[in-house]
Structure 1
Amino acid sequence: MRDSSLSPSSRLGGAVISDRIVGALLEELRTGRYAQTDRLPAEVDLAAELSVSRTVIRDALSEMERAGYIERVRGIGTVVNRSVLNLRSRLDQKLEYYPLIRSFGSYPHADGIQIYPVRAGEELARDLVIEPGDDVICIKKRILADTTPVIYSIDYLPRALFGSRDYTRIDLSGDIFDVLERECRQQVASNVAHLKASCGDESIRAAMRLAPGEAMLLLDEICYNRLCHPVMRSLSYYTNFFDFSILRKLL
């Protein structure tokens, strides 16, 4: 796995080397050589097995500990938290619609896609740190698991992110994080989400085929790039198809 032309901070296909190591270790913990273990080998042994430096291993383990997959305990070693490892839909982590739906054994796809410009009102302008009246691109879509509607999403992107390009000639129908990175050179580093129960308006209820009185979970998010500037306001309505969890680390 070593590539001598890349430093530990270099990017491989958009991912830092330590991120790749995290992915490899999680796969080994779930289905590979460490699937039956309650502890990981020492850093020096992991570095040798994965052909990377101890610095890369240390960075990867730090990330895994922050995510709650492991705890590094002095005098004991790196302990695996299998309860956290087996969680598949965590609200405290980045949620990508398609991988999330696939984790439930269903086929994800989108329909009812609408893309059109709007003028930012006071609230949207404040959220995106733009001027009221500035152009914003609104993207609406319904996400299905097989034939069942499970998510209705509304994303607002400042028109300025696309520069002078004609956004109508750009494919904005795919994963919104990919769109931001590919078309706007904006990588979402964090978001602030507010969770609430919502019945949605009549058009959303009809699209989601909700029963009378049935509510959805609304994630109202503002997404920030690595310079801590907001690049998107996102409203995602989830049906009870999902069973979400949140990890709260206390130490």
Structure 2
Amino acid sequence: MLRGRRALASQVRQRLRILISTGLYPPGSRLPNEEELSETLGVSRTTLREALQALAEEGLILRRHGQGTFVNRHPQQVQGSLDRNLDISELIRASGHLPGTRDVVIQTMPASPHVATQLSLAPADEVLAIERVRLADQRPVVFSIDFLPMALVQTVNYELTDLYSDSLYDFLIQRLGLTIHHGLAQLRPVLAEVWLAQKLGLSPGVPLLYIEQVDYTLEQRPVLFSQGYHVPDAFEFVLYRRGPGES
């Protein structure tokens, strides 16, 4: 029951992001009250509040006591907190930009030793690899490669177009009933090789931020391994760091 409500809240959150990114609720505008919005979206006020709370934590909306809920005005950079595990499209949309995708390549292949290690697979096991160039307002900002264990994907019926969607997290929830509990990420600077620079419309040798991440279920099962090459001037990440006096 709880998983179903969270999945529904995630879908409502996604629908609200689309309404905001397409201009129905532009930056600075006030959202309808909870009663009207829950009727429009066809969900309970409890589910709506959960979705609104998540959007507020992401910074997409502002909830002002006694005034209402407003769409936040954002700077041009795609902003995100490194302690929040968001899909790239969600991060772009939460910053008030329109996400997009191009140059999609989906193929099945044997897992490389590195990918197999990250997903706790045998080297001969197959994975589904999804390559995409991610856009923010039509600007290429990320080249990503996502790996899903083929044994996991084969348990459900799906269309390849399902994997073109903004968020693989939604695919995992809606098709496989799997919710990502947490992810472990490693970050390091890299220089764009010729092939990568061409995909992102950059000059070879330009610095990029490389983020490699494994996503886990609550049961500590690795279900998604991602490699993302981020154009650094398109992003601003915030990291909360505890002081030595905070336990």
Judging changes above 3 Å, is the alpha-carbon distance between structure 1 residues 34 and 133 closer, same or farther for their aligned structure 2 residues? farther
1:13-52 equivalences under 5 Å are 13-14=6-7, 15=9, 20=50, 23=53, 26=56, 30-33=62-65
Cα offsets for 1:120-178 (capped at 9, x unmatched): 12221111111111110000101111221011110000001123556555621111111
Q: CA deviation at 1:21?
A: 8.1
Judging changes above 3 Å, is the alpha-carbon distance between structure 1 residues 158 and 11 closer, same or farther for their aligned structure 2 residues? closer
One-letter amino acid of the counterpart of residue 239, structure 2 = I
Q: CA RMSD of the aligned region, Å?
A: 3.2
One-letter amino acid of the counterpart of residue 242, structure 1 = F
Percent identity between the two aligned chains: 27
Contact persistence 2:111–2:126 (CA under 8 A): yes
Q: Which runs of 5+ in 1 are unaligned?
A: 1-5, 36-86
Give the equivalent residue in structure 2 for 1:244.
Answer: 237
State the alpha-carbon separation in 2 of the partners of residues 96 and 10 from structure 1.
Answer: 19
Give the equivalent residue in structure 2 for 1:216.
Answer: 208
1:118 corresponds, among 100, 104, 109, to 109
Contact persistence 2:194–2:204 (CA under 8 A): no
Judging changes above 3 Å, is the alpha-carbon distance between structure 1 residues 182 and 214 closer, same or farther for their aligned structure 2 residues? same
Give the equivalent residue in structure 2 for 1:38.
Answer: none
Match status 1:203 vs 2:195: yes
Contact persistence 1:90–1:245 (CA under 8 A): yes
Contact persistence 2:100–2:138 (CA under 8 A): no
Structure with greater Cα Rg = 1
State the alpha-carbon separation in 2 of the partners of residues 138 and 207 from structure 1.
Answer: 17
Contact persistence 2:156–2:176 (CA under 8 A): no
TM-score (norm. length: structure 2): 0.68
2:218 corresponds, among 209, 212, 226, to 226
State the alpha-carbon separation in 1 of the partners of residues 242 and 62 from structure 2.
Answer: 21
Contact persistence 1:199–1:205 (CA under 8 A): no
1:235 corresponds, among 214, 224, 227, to 227
Which secondary structure does the structure 1 equivalent of 2:239 belong to? Answer: coil
TM-score (norm. length: structure 1): 0.67
Which secondary structure does the structure 2 equivalent of 1:30 belong to? Answer: strand
Judging changes above 3 Å, is the alpha-carbon distance between structure 1 residues 30 and 211 closer, same or farther for their aligned structure 2 residues? same
Which fold has the larger relative contact order, with Cα–Cα distance below 8 Å and residues 6 or more apart in sequence? Answer: 2
